[in-house]
């Protein structure tokens, strides 16, 4: 079985400060991990993914995420937040081939960047 | 990257009528598409997996006779909400997986359709 948790409903950060949106996961095998962003009344936009390789993954719009196998985490980070980063962020996980090929999404974290 | 479109982007209909939502993959062929429902400030709820040329696979608790899914071609899947009621009002999002079968990775999402049933 696969599951993902986003422990924070909302994250508040001041513009220019670093941001972190947390995500932890549970899978039977190896995880495929994803981050998506959703702006109001829009679909989800792909930010980045971890399949294999370097634990630090760089994605769109200056975002990055670090895969930590021992802590089963895949936190999303950005060194300097922008007001335009304010949106809903979803973490998703898929088990490795052989498991479910349909990802499970977290409940989402609302990021609010204050000017 | 791959682009998925949805039409309409929003629709208002009267209770008891049916509404069709289209999902198209614009620059790739998608043998599998997914339909999600999203309530305000909540995560995506997978409704069904749409497979080209075969019947859709519905998630537990989703009424297949109410939410009719047709995957007519490799670039088009439709969701028809039949006999809509106000509780069907929601944001419906489709997505398609990039070609490559189960080993493919990220999904590409449509912009969503806001359905309001009055």
- pLDDT digit of tens for each residue in chain B (118 aa)? 678 999 999 999 999 999 999 999 998 888 889 999 998 777 889 999 988 888 899 999 999 999 999 988 889 999 999 999 999 999 999 998 876 655 556 688 999 999 999 9
Q: Is A59 on the interface with B (CB under 8 A)?
A: no
Contacts of A44 in chain B (CB under 8 A): 44, 93, 95, 109
Give the residue, B1 or A61, on which the prediction is more confident. A61
Contacts of B91 in chain A (CB under 8 A): 41
pLDDT at B99: 66
**Cβ within 8 Å, pair B93-A43:** yes
Span of A21-25, A27-31, B11-15, B34-38 with lowest mean pLDDT: A27-31
Contacts of A49 in chain B (CB under 8 A): 105-106
Average pLDDT over all residues of chain A: 92
C-alpha–C-alpha distance, residues B11 and B18, integer Å: 11
C-alpha–C-alpha distance, residues B29 and B31, integer Å: 6
Which of B42, B43, B109 has its CB closest to that of A43?
Answer: B109
Give the residue, A101 or A24, on which the prediction is more confident. A24
User: Which neighbouring-strand residues pair with B77?
Assistant: B23
Q: How far is CA B117 from CA A40, A42, B91, in A?
A: 20, 19, 12
For residue B110 the two structure tokens come to 């449509």
- Do B94 and B36 touch, CB atoms closer than 8 A? yes
Which of B4, B93, B107 has its CB closest to that of A103?
Answer: B107
pLDDT at A30: 86
């Amino acid at each position: 079985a696969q599951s993902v948790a986003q422990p924070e409903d909302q994250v508040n950060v001041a513009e220019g400060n670093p941001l972190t949106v947390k995500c932890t996961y549970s899978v039977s095998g190896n995880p495929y991990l994803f981050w998506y962003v959703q702006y109001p009344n829009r679909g989800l936009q792909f930010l980045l993914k971890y399949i294999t390789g370097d634990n630090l993954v760089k994605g769109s719009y200056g975002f990055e995420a670090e895969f930590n196998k021992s802590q089963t985490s895949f936190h999303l980070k950005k060194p300097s937040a922008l007001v335009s980063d304010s949106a809903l962020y979803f973490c998703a996980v898929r088990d490795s081939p052989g498991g479910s090929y349909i990802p499970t999404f977290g409940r989402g974290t609302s990021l609010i960047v204050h000017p | 990257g791959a682009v998925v479109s949805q039409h309409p982007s929003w629709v208002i209909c009267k209770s008891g009528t049916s509404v069709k939502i289209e999902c198209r993959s614009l620059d790739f062929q998608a043998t599998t598409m997914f339909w999600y429902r999203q309530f305000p400030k909540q995560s995506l709820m997978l409704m069904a997996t749409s497979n080209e040329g075969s019947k859709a696979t519905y998630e537990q608790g989703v009424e297949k006779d109410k939410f009719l899914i047709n995957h007519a071609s490799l670039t088009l899947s439709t969701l028809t909400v039949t006999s809509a009621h106000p509780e069907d009002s929601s944001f419906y999002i489709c997505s398609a997986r990039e070609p490559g079968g189960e080993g493919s990775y990220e999904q590409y999402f449509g912009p969503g359709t806001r359905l309001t049933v009055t």
